[in-house]
Amino acid sequence: MSDLLDNTEEATKAVVAFLEKKSKSKTKFYLKDFYKVFPDDKPRMIKKVVNKMVEREILEYWSSGSTTMYGLKGAGIQHSSEGEE
Amino acid sequence: MAKHETPLLDQLESGPWPSFVSDLKAQAERRAKNEEGIEFQIPSDTVDDLLGILELSFKHGRTHWKHGGIVGVFGYGGGVIGRYCDQPQAFPGVEHFHTMRVNQPAGKYYTTDYLRTLTKLWDFRGSGITNMHGATGDIILLGTTTPQIEEIFHTLTHDMGQDLGGSGSNLRTPADCLGQSRCEYSCYDTNAMVYFLTNEYQDELHRPAFPYKFKFKLDGCPNCCVASIARSDMSFIGTWRDDIRVDQDAVNKYVENDAAYPANAGAFRGSKDWGPFDLEKEVLGLCPTKCMKFENQKLSIDNANCTRCMHCINVMPRALKIGKETGCSILVGAKAPILDGAQMGSLLVPFVEVNPDNDYEAITEVIENVWDWWMEEGKNRERLGELIMRQGFQKLLEVTGIKAQPQHVQYPRTNPYIFWKEDEVEGGWERDVEEYRKHHQR
Ligand code: HEM
Ligand code: HEM
Ligand code: SF4
Ligand code: SF4
């Protein structure tokens, strides 16, 4: 695991900064979008850390039933169609 | 008296089949009467409004459900699927109509007490409508409101020892046939393995991990009662690598039409007169690989050419049995027709041992190699089967470290080209020009 991903505080900061930067155009993201934030890490490790951020209520899930996306808690519409903010 | 007029739905009841409309009407009436005195925690007319909004959708020719949302239980990224309607003023009973998936037990064994407790909970905190079972295998509880979700989860986990299933980009609840618990054809204990996989991959089951959904299904033999070959990204189908066991005396009893040896275990008896059993026509002639012979009252099978289709065993279960060296085949990439049409699973591992004593090591290794590849390379919302089509089966063999073998080939010689990689060719792409010119002039 990279130092960045291993450091809860720094990892959270990086994820929040990434989401805030994009928040004008989008509020919901695929897991894969976070791979860019942690280019040196394996998807399985990134998934663990990002899911922990949901548990800590920094992020929240949005699910269509078949696909799951992530967003900053409270950002965007709570229930809407995919691709519609 | 029904709350909404539903002439279009009523028409659906006129066919010869049982109708879900009749069921929903009965349930709406049951809730209206409430003879059991249930303290409904969601609107008592939920089911009336469900019928009402469905009627409206038929009238308008468009759906009035929104798709998806943020609902779930704390710490879980799956198991609850948010559904909201876009006409809450007219149909307040279905303003929220969330689905909960409950992880069905291995082999779907229940006690009546369990079922009563579950349906009681669902009458109390939900619509009372269930789907036993959904395509994933789960018990599906259809229709509740957001505030009920945590309450239901609490009762399920604390009072019933019952977990939710998977949804979204998670591992979906693994599903199996009843396997060795009831079935003599089963080549491994599907219930034990489904239980193991469910526990081993709890994190993947409850928290999104993947580009899209991922399903495991387990069949004890190639009869494929849970249709794993068509309905799961990774299917585990029981098989054997030695020979079909033949009891020649019993074969001859079938041939003699002995009443105690009915063909197909008597399954078609009484449907119509099928005439006397004909081994040649009904077994040898239908063997897909034509690998059986019956001469001098002796049945012989060329087992190297038998594809383990189960046909002969199904027809003469008292005479033929699965082999003794059993394990399973692993197939990958089946999916529904959302992109590129429906796809059946492709055979990845022809035979692997199923060994609970080493925690199914040989199987989890394949699973994890496949996941690593798909998580890395899969596009958002791309199923494993689509990734295999996009990057090629050869790539899959490479990432799983499995050697190509004849069982991987469906149609031989349809492609005359072979593209070698440098490391597959002795000496690679480099050549020694000096050496070459010793033998060839410029
Ligand atoms: C014409 C109407 C509909 C179509 C064509 C449709 C199609 C689909 C499809 C293709 C899936 C599978 C998605 C996947 O897992 O990849 C799905 C899942 C689902 N749909 Fe619908 N749907 C329709 C209406 C509805 C309605 C009215 C509801 C509920 C109010 C609903 C609730 C669900 C749920 C809860 C799932 C997830 C179930 C599962 O994955 O097994 N759908 N739908
Ligand atoms: C093991 C030996 C050989 C193999 C595997 C082989 C394979 C092939 C293949 C695959 C092609 C088609 C290439 C393409 O479609 O672009 C081809 C074309 C051709 N080969 Fe060979 N070849 C062999 C030996 C030879 C020899 C010894 C000669 C003549 C001395 C020869 C003459 C040709 C010619 C003239 C063509 C072109 C035909 C055309 O214009 O379509 N080949 N060969
Ligand atoms: S798949 Fe095979 S083992 Fe499982 S229940 Fe069906 S016939 Fe029996
Ligand atoms: S299992 Fe199928 S392929 Fe094998 S011998 Fe029987 S009928 Fe033929």
State the pLDDT at residue A80. Answer: 55
Does residue B51 belong to any structural domain of this protein? yes
Are B260 and B353 contained in the same domain?
no
Q: How far is CA B385 from CA A16, B372, B378, B419, in A?
A: 33, 15, 10, 23
Q: What is the CATH number of the domain that holds A46?
A: 1.10.10.10
Written as six digits, the tokens of B314 are 């199904």
Min Cα distance B5 → chain A (Å) is 29
Nearest-CA residue for atom 3 of ligand 4: B306
Q: Do B371 and A44 touch (CB under 8 A)?
A: yes
**C-alpha dihedral over B363, B368, B370, B373, to 10 degrees?**
-160
- Helix B393-400 vs helix B384-391: angle between axes, to the nearest 10 degrees? 110
Answer yes or no: are the C-beta atoms of B242 and B325 closer than 8 Å: yes
Q: Is B190 domain-assigned?
A: yes
Read off the pLDDT band of A81 (50, 70, 90): low
Give exposure, B387-402, as e/b (b: 16+ Cβ within 10 Å): bbbeeebeebeeebeb
The whole-model pTM stands at 0.84
CB contact under 8 A, B78 and A44: no
- In this prediction, residue B184 carries a pLDDT of 97
The answer to whether A49 touches A5, Cβ cutoff 8 Å, is yes
Residue B179's pLDDT is: 98
Q: What is the pLDDT of residue B337?
A: 83
Say whether the ipTM exceeds 0.90: no
Position A39 scores a pLDDT of 94
Q: How many structural domains does chain A have?
A: 1
- Looking at the fold, whether B310 and B356 belong to one and the same domain comes out as no
> What one-letter code names the amino acid at B145?
T
Examine the fold and report which residue of B270, B291, B321 is the final residue of a domain before the chain moves on. Answer: B321
Is B208 within 8 Å of A66 when comparing Cβ atoms?
no
Within this chain, do residues B343 and B403 fall inside the same structural domain, yes or no? Answer: yes
Whether the per-residue pLDDT at A76 is higher than 90: the answer is: no
Residue B203 forms contact with A (CB below 8 Å): yes
The CA distance from B395 to B372, in Å, is 13
What are the start-end ranges of the E strands in B298-418? 298-301, 320-321, 326-332, 346-352
> Which tokens go with B420?
């070698």
Residue B382: what pLDDT? 95
Any ligand 3 atom below 6 A from CB of B185: yes
pLDDT tens for residues B223-282? 999 999 999 999 999 999 999 999 999 999 999 999 999 999 999 888 888 899 999 999
Specify whether B277 is located in the same domain as B182. no
Domain residues for the domain of B199 are: 175-238+331-422
The pLDDT assigned to B419 comes to 83
B344 and B225 within one domain: yes
**pLDDT number for residue B397:** 97
8-state DSSP, B173: P
| B370 shares a domain with B233 | yes
Residue B300 sits in a domain whose CATH number is 3.30.70.20
pLDDT at site B418:
81
| Band of pLDDT at residue A84, cut at 50, 70 and 90 | low
For residues B257 and B251, what is the distance between their CA atoms, to the nearest angstrom?
10
In tens, the pLDDT along A8-40 reads 999 999 999 999 998 888 888 999 999 999 999
- Which residues of chain A does B212 touch, with a Cβ-Cβ cutoff of 8 Å? 66-67
Give the CA distances from residue A6 to residues A9, A24, B124, in Å, rounded to whole numbers and listed in that order: 9, 29, 45
Atom of ligand 1 minimally distant from the CA of B97: 30
Assign residue B54 the CATH number of its domain.
Answer: 3.30.70.2500
pLDDT band at A77; cut points 50, 70, 90:
low
| Domain that residue A27 falls in | 5-74
β-bridge mates for residue B256, sequence order: none
Q: How many domains does chain B have?
A: 3
Residues B14, B129, single domain; the answer is yes
Q: Give me B439's structure tokens.
A: 């033998």
Residues of chain B with pLDDT under 50: none
Torsion angle of alpha carbons B394, B395, B399, B404, nearest 10°?
A: 0
B216 beta partners: B234
User: Could you say which of B108, B132, B159 is where a domain stops?
Assistant: B159
* Partner-chain contact B72 A61, CB within 8 Å: yes
Note whether B282 and B310 are same-domain residues: yes
Answer whether A66 contacts ligand 1 (Cβ < 6 A).
Answer: yes
Asked if residue A82 belongs to a domain, the reply is no
* pLDDT score, position B424: 86
The whole-number pLDDT of residue B338 equals 80
3-state secondary structure of B237: strand
Residue B185 and residue B234 share a domain: yes
d(CA A77, CA B283): 61
Residue A75 has pLDDT above 80, yes or no: no
CA distance to partner chain B, nearest, from residue A49 (Å):
11
